């Protein structure tokens, strides 16, 4: 998956400035001029990072980020605003689980670093989810193996702690390989 970022702001000049700032970064940048337009994009494609303005006509940034969290919970959400009210900040943090909050004008270096950290966070959590699926699948396979061959997962050790392997005939090994599809 590419490092796809969604920028949402009702001001085209803000989006243009952000695009210029990120031009040298290895990101695929998609923009939307409203929360509604952005929701259509979020439902159609996966974004590692979503950055939204707070004050927009129609759906405000806090509402958009909360809705985006429901559709794409793994996306890292950030807010950018020129008018940070306590109420908007609290709604965004509580409902949208905002990773970072920036005020306009933003610090270019800080914004870039935060986006890099957000992508790293996304990638690490994605890898964690993938590994958890592998562990669950392996656990199910082990339970099935134990159910079909009781005691097969039991380990015996000698006094020195070395594992004692039971004698298994070639026929038993072939049967197990055939049964579990590993030749």
Q: Give the per-residue pLDDT at 101.
A: 85
User: Residue 93 contacts by C-beta under 8 Å, 6 or more apart in sequence?
Assistant: 101
Q: Give the tens place of pLDDT for each residue, 142-167.
A: 888 888 888 877 888 889 989 887 77
SS3 for 50? strand
For residues 34 and 10, the answer to whether their CB atoms sit within 8 Å is yes
Q: Give the tens place of pLDDT for each residue, 126-142.
A: 999 999 999 999 999 98
Q: Give the tens place of pLDDT for each residue, 24-51.
A: 999 999 999 999 999 999 999 999 999 9
Other beta carbons within 10 angstroms of residue 176's beta carbon come to: 15
CATH code where residue 5 lies: 3.40.50.2300
Query: Who wins on pLDDT, 87 or 19?
Result: 19
Q: Give the per-residue pLDDT at 86.
A: 67
Counting the structural domains of the chain, the total is 1
Query: Can you give the residue range of the structural domain that contains 14?
Result: 1-183
CA 117 to chain centre: 12
Q: Give the tens place of pLDDT for each residue, 72-123.
A: 999 999 998 877 666 666 666 666 678 888 888 899 999 999 999 999 999 9
* 13 pLDDT above the threshold of 80: yes
Q: Give the per-residue pLDDT at 119.
A: 96
- Tally of CA atoms within 13 A in the half-sphere of 134 that contains its CB: 6
Q: Give the per-residue pLDDT at 182.
A: 59
Q: What are the b/e assignments for 7-16, b being 16+ CB within 10 Å?
A: bbbbeeebbe
For the chain, the maximum distance between any two Cα atoms, rounded to a whole number of angstroms, is 75
Give burial (CB, 10 Å; 0-12/13-18/19+) of 134: exposed
């Amino acid at each position: 998956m590419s490092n796809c970022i969604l920028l949402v702001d009702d001001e085209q000049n803000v989006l243009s400035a952000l695009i210029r700032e990120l031009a040298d970064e290895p990101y695929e940048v998609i923009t939307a001029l409203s929360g509604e337009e952005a929701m259509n994009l979020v439902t159609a494609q996966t974004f590692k990072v979503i950055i939204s303005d707070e004050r927009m006509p129609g759906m405000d940034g806090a509402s958009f980020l909360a809705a985006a969290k429901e559709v794409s919970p793994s996306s890292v959400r950030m807010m950018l605003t020129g008018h940070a009210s306590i109420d908007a900040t609290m709604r965004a943090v509580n409902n949208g689980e905002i990773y970072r909050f920036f005020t306009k004008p933003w610090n270019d270096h800080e914004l870039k670093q935060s986006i890099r950290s957000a992508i790293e966070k996304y990638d690490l959590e994605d890898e964690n989810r993938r590994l958890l699926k592998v562990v669950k699948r392996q656990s199910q396979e082990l339970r099935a193996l134990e159910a079909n061959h009781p005691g097969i997962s039991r380990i015996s050790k000698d006094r020195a702690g070395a594992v004692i392997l039971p004698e298994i005939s070639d026929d038993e090994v072939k049967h197990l390989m055939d049964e579990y599809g590993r030749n």
